[in-house]
Amino acid sequence: MSPHAICWDNAVAESFFSRLKKERIRKRVYKTRDLARADIFDYIEAFYNRTRRHSHIGCVSPEAFETAAT
């Protein structure tokens, strides 16, 4: 195991949180923590996991990739 705070240990998580901040959080000001949670949940479940195109699966959305695979 490597020392603390080495970003390459968790590159997938680091990449995801970077995208989350760049695409959603930095563009908005939340009045309450609950609004922030709801918006982040919407980003992850409705946009990132379903409609956002991902380069590692041929620049298609995960939803389209799963449909094509079945």
Give the pLDDT score at 35. 95
Quickly list DSSP for 34-61.
HHHHHHHHHIIIIIITTTS-BGGGTSB-
Does pTM surpass 0.75? Answer: no
Give the pLDDT score at 7. 61
Residue pLDDT, tens place only, 35-47: 999 999 998 888 8
The two three-digit tokens of residue 31, written as one number: 């009045």
Contacts of 2 (CB under 8 A, 6+ apart): 9
Distance separating alpha carbons of residues 41 and 31, to the nearest angstrom: 16
Give the pLDDT score at 32. 96
Regions in the chain scoring below 70 on pLDDT: 1-8
Q: What is the maximal distance between C-alpha atoms in the chain?
A: 42
